[in-house]
């Protein structure tokens, strides 16, 4: 009887936990091109990740600076697509307003 009473609550939690374990769907090149039009200068890194998913490659580049005048540099994300139709890359560059808050500075599409 107790198990039957708990069954609805177990079923209620199951979909939520199953969703969090599923990997984010990978966008096709055509889908990425459609959603990339929503990229905006000043968009947060979290906003970009919600739009396009996690990047395949990342890079952090310093703009020089010294220990007395720290440089924030740039964070770069690269999304890549391969295939027979049109392989390509989307490069997104971020600048930091604070050490842990990155915002889109620019982006560009390139092909191999």
Report how far apart the first and last C-alpha atoms of the chain are (Å, whole number): 63
What counts of helices (H) and strands (E) characterise the chain?
A: 3, 4
Q: 61: domain CATH number?
A: 3.30.1450.10
60, part of any domain: yes
Residue 39 and residue 51 in contact, taking contact as beta carbons nearer than 8 Å: yes
> What pTM was computed for the model?
0.69
Determine the pLDDT at residue 30.
Answer: 87
Question: What is the per-residue pLDDT for 17?
Answer: 40
> What SS3 state is found at 107?
strand
Domain assignment present for 106: yes
For residue 14, the model assigns a pLDDT of 42
Range of the structural domain that residue 76 is part of:
27-110
Number of domains in the chain: 1
Whether 73 is covered by a domain: the verdict is: yes
pLDDT tens, residue order, the chain (112 aa): 554 554 444 444 444 444 444 344 578 888 998 999 999 999 999 999 999 999 999 999 887 665 655 557 899 999 998 865 667 899 999 999 887 899 999 999 987 5
């Amino acid at each position: 009887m107790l198990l039957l009473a708990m069954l609805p609550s177990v079923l209620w939690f199951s979909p939520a936990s199953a969703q969090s374990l599923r990997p984010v769907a990978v966008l096709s090149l055509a889908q990425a091109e459609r959603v990339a039009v929503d990229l905006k200068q000043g968009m947060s890194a979290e906003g970009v990740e919600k739009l396009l998913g996690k990047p395949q490659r990342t890079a952090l580049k310093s703009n020089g600076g010294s220990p007395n005048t720290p440089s924030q540099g740039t964070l770069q994300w690269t999304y890549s697509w391969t295939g027979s139709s049109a392989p390509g890359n989307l490069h997104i560059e971020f600048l930091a307003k604070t050490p842990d808050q990155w915002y889109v500075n620019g982006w560009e599409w390139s092909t191999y």
